[in-house]
Amino acid sequence: MSASANVVESIPPSVLAGLVLGGLFTVFAAGLFVVGERWFPSRYGTEPRTYSGEDRRRTEIRDYLREIGERYAEDHPVAGTSVAFYLPERDVAVTFDAHAFFRIQNTTETVVILVEHEMPGRHLGRRLPFEVPEIRTDATDFQETVRIAYESLGLPRTASRSEIKSAYRDRVKDVHPDHGGDEESFRQLQEAYVTAKEHAD
């Protein structure tokens, strides 16, 4: 008789029965998960989670370019990659993708602008490499937007860029969806941060 047969014989029958039943239940549970995933596929991990609202930014940039009378093409190929907006008369590309930004910047003469998802579309004018027409906005509304941005961050209008960055990092801990916040509050905080940063002295 072999040593392995002696080991099996020395195990009490109740332990053997428990091991066999445990193995069967494990196989059964795994089968349930496989069948459940086929019938009700989970969306977690298969769809990108976006808190930035690229669609919202695209709409804002589209509206801004129309306001200043600039012709554009969307999802246009430049240097083997697709950019969100291309201004053919200026040879200017606007992208949300950092990889595309560096590829275009390093391989072509096209002026490329990297836009953060949280940047309000109206701020694009500050980054364009040409003079843009002055867009008539209500100065009161504009000042109110800036005031609300600083207030959202809990800062005075005289705050420095480093204070703005620090306040933003502190507030993110409260409003980020991964920390119990919601996407809308996070989006508003991102907009407040960009607005305050761009108007800091």
The answer to whether 172 touches 96, Cβ cutoff 8 Å, is no
DSSP notation for 148-177: HHHHHTT--TT--HHHHHHHHHHHHHHH-G
Last residue of a domain, one of 97, 126, 155: 126
CATH of the domain at 187: 1.10.287.110
Domain count, the chain: 2
What own/partner pairs with CB < 8 Å and gap ≥ 24 does 173-179 have?
A: 176/51, 177/49, 177/51
pLDDT digits (tens, 9 = 90+) for 80-109: 999 999 999 999 999 999 999 999 999 999
Instruction: Say if residue 121 is in the same domain as residue 143.
Output: no
Q: Are residues 166 and 119 in the same domain?
A: no
Q: Is residue 82 part of a domain?
A: yes
**Are 119 and 145 in the same domain?**
no
Average pLDDT taken over every residue of the chain: 81
pLDDT of 127 above 60: yes
Confidence of residue 48 (pLDDT cuts 50, 70, 90): very low
